Amino acid sequence: MNGARAEARIEIVGKNSGHGAVAVNGEGKLTCLVVDDEPLLRQVLVRLMEKEGFTCLHAESGVEALEVMAQRSVAVVLTDLRMPAMDGIALLHEIRARYADTAVVMVTGVTDVDVAVSCLALGAMDYLIKPFNIEEARARVRQAIEKRRLVLDNRQYQIQLEQRVRAQADRLEELFLGTMQAFASALEVKDLYTRGHSVRVAQYSVAIGRAMGLDDETVRQVDIGGQLHDIGKIGVRESVLNKPGPLTDEEYQHIMTHPVVGWRILSPLLKDVPMALNIVRSHHERFDGRGVPDGLEGEEIPIEARIAAVADSFDAMTSRRAYRHGGRMSIEATCEEVERCSGTQFDPAVVQAFFAAIEDGTLPTHQLQARVSPATSLPVAMAGGI
């Protein structure tokens, strides 16, 4: 391996190592550290490696070698097996633990060949038997550097592959959320009275979930579920959905089919976000078991659905609805209604988190004041919102 070829190899390794010029000198040469307590052998190896295009450092013990490596990044270490204070095996362990990108070639006598071979299992790239000839030394070093290059290339490939997979996953997530938002927008075109409702329910649900200390993934699914919770209203007759004034029993039963309709529509799409799907189906369940569609009670209701139930009701009561005369409820009246329904319609723990989110400003009621008229009477049955 002549100097020109060595520099070409150096350029490739330096690029893929992730260290840039850290493991090379200003001329683009890889750095080699020779470790041996015999000065003569150390000089021979240094001269050999310099002729091969390396910048060479040297140390007479394992301890000194680690001191050198703490100051300079090294591409390859040639170390004797038997040395005082810290032998080659101990040095190999330290290098593997501290400098995983450094290639190590063990230098040993004939009587220690078995030990040198065992060092391969400990992470050494190769070994060199004394006495050695120049061509053999060159071949061993060349092989070690090539192994190092392959390891670094493979690591870089894995990093790039992970980045591509992550980018693709982000793109799929973006497309998925875009599709879900299109569903929500389609519903708002049909139901003018709930324009913005789904977005607000998602925001309130996220604030409540964070107040309850839910993890990021759960909060993410709560956000998605909040945006899609009313998607089943696409299947509700517009004459019922936008009817001015109170609903008949038949009309109320019809409109309350929307959780199951939405669940059926979204089940094929939300397999990877099951908590969001739970919100779609169960946001009209009641803590006392008198809700729809399944009559679940207490903690049988998924926590994400219990959160959405409070957020949905809060926004319904502070929004204009076709079925309600007299405008929206005030913030104060709405909060009193939520508190009154704690333990019957709503999970008390969720109600507590709801008020905590209002208190710390993550559920900002001041943004609602502009769109809330003075308190109006509201039948208890309407507290849940539809």
List, for residues 124-159, the tens digit of each pLDDT value: 888 888 877 778 878 888 888 888 888 888 888 988
Taking the C-alpha atoms of residue 198 and residue 312, their distance in angstroms, rounded to an integer, is 8
The string of pLDDT tens digits covering residues 157-203 is 988 999 999 898 888 878 877 887 787 777 777 766 666 888 899 99
Could you tell me if 148 and 27 lie in one domain?
A: yes
pLDDT at 151: 83
Could you tell me if 150 and 197 lie in one domain?
A: no
Could you tell me if 131 and 218 lie in one domain?
A: no
Assigned domain for 11 exists: yes
Could you tell me if 114 and 226 lie in one domain?
A: no
15 has pLDDT over 60: no
Assigned domain for 178 exists: no
Could you tell me if 254 and 134 lie in one domain?
A: no
Residue that has been written with the tokens 């759960």 in this structure: 218
The string of pLDDT tens digits covering residues 252-290 is 999 999 999 999 999 998 888 999 999 999 999 999 999
Could you tell me if 158 and 219 lie in one domain?
A: no
The string of pLDDT tens digits covering residues 24-34 is 444 557 889 99
Element (H, E) at 250: helix 249-255
- The 3-class SS string of 9-73 reads HHHHHHHHCCCCCCCECCCCCEEEEEECCCHHHHHHHHHHHHHCCCEEEEECCHHHHHHHHHHCC
Mean pLDDT of the chain: 82
Q: How many CA atoms lie within 13 A of 137 on its CB side?
A: 20
Which CATH number covers residue 204?
1.10.3210.10
> Percentage of the chain with pLDDT > 70?
84
The string of pLDDT tens digits covering residues 338-357 is 999 999 999 999 999 999 99
Total residues found in the chain within this entry: 386
Q: Which of 68-82, 115-129, 175-189, 294-308 has the lowest mean pLDDT?
A: 175-189
Identify residue 42 by its one-letter amino acid code. Answer: R
Assigned domain for 180 exists: no
Name every residue whose Cβ is closer than 8 Å to that of residue 10 and which is 6 or more positions away in sequence: 24, 28, 29, 30, 53
For residue 99, name the pLDDT band (cuts at 50, 70, 90).
very high
Element (H, E) at 108: strand 103-109
Angle at which helix 274-282 crosses helix 258-266, to 10 degrees, equals 160
Assigned domain for 171 exists: no
Do you find a cis peptide bond into 379, omega within 30 degrees of 0? no
171 vs 204, which has greater pLDDT? 204
pLDDT at 205: 97
> Percentage of the chain with pLDDT > 90?
43
Taking the C-alpha atoms of residue 1 and residue 53, their distance in angstroms, rounded to an integer, is 9
Taking the C-alpha atoms of residue 97 and residue 77, their distance in angstroms, rounded to an integer, is 14
Taking the C-alpha atoms of residue 347 and residue 91, their distance in angstroms, rounded to an integer, is 61
- Structural domain that includes position 276: 191-384
Alpha carbon 176 to its chain centroid, in Å, reads 17
**In the listed set 146, 162, 178, which residue is the last one of a domain according to the structure?**
162
Assigned domain for 256 exists: yes
For residue 18, name the pLDDT band (cuts at 50, 70, 90).
very low
Residue that has been written with the tokens 């100097």 in this structure: 3
pLDDT at 339: 96
At 52, phi and psi to the nearest 5? -85, 5
Could you tell me if 351 and 241 lie in one domain?
A: yes
Average pLDDT over residues 214-238: 92
Element (H, E) at 181: helix 134-190
244 has pLDDT over 70: yes
Average pLDDT over residues 320-335: 73
Q: Which two three-digit tokens encode residue 44?
A: 């021979």
For residue 368, name the pLDDT band (cuts at 50, 70, 90).
low
**Total structural domains in the chain?**
2
pLDDT at 58: 92
pTM above 0.75, yes or no: no
pLDDT at 90: 92
Could you tell me if 223 and 136 lie in one domain?
A: no
Could you tell me if 235 and 328 lie in one domain?
A: yes
Which CATH number covers residue 77?
3.40.50.2300
Question: Is residue 340 a contact partner of residue 242, using CB atoms and an 8 Å limit?
Answer: no
**In the listed set 142, 162, 182, which residue is the last one of a domain according to the structure?**
162
Q: Which of 200-214, 326-340, 358-372 has the lowest mean pLDDT?
A: 358-372
Question: Is residue 275 a contact partner of residue 304, using CB atoms and an 8 Å limit?
Answer: yes
Could you tell me if 130 and 271 lie in one domain?
A: no
Taking the C-alpha atoms of residue 218 and residue 365, their distance in angstroms, rounded to an integer, is 24
Taking the C-alpha atoms of residue 13 and residue 312, their distance in angstroms, rounded to an integer, is 58
321 has pLDDT over 90: no
**In the listed set 145, 162, 179, which residue is the last one of a domain according to the structure?**
162
Could you tell me if 271 and 312 lie in one domain?
A: yes
Assigned domain for 174 exists: no
Assigned domain for 261 exists: yes
Assigned domain for 167 exists: no
Helices assigned H by DSSP within 212-248: 216-228, 238-241
pLDDT at 173: 78
pLDDT at 384: 54
Q: How many CA atoms lie within 13 A of 267 on its CB side?
A: 7
Taking the C-alpha atoms of residue 33 and residue 61, their distance in angstroms, rounded to an integer, is 11
Could you tell me if 211 and 67 lie in one domain?
A: no
Taking the C-alpha atoms of residue 49 and residue 186, their distance in angstroms, rounded to an integer, is 71
Average pLDDT over residues 231-244: 85
Residue that has been written with the tokens 């704690």 in this structure: 342
Q: Which two three-digit tokens encode residue 138?
A: 């060159």
122 has pLDDT over 80: yes
Taking the C-alpha atoms of residue 96 and residue 74, their distance in angstroms, rounded to an integer, is 13
366 has pLDDT over 70: no
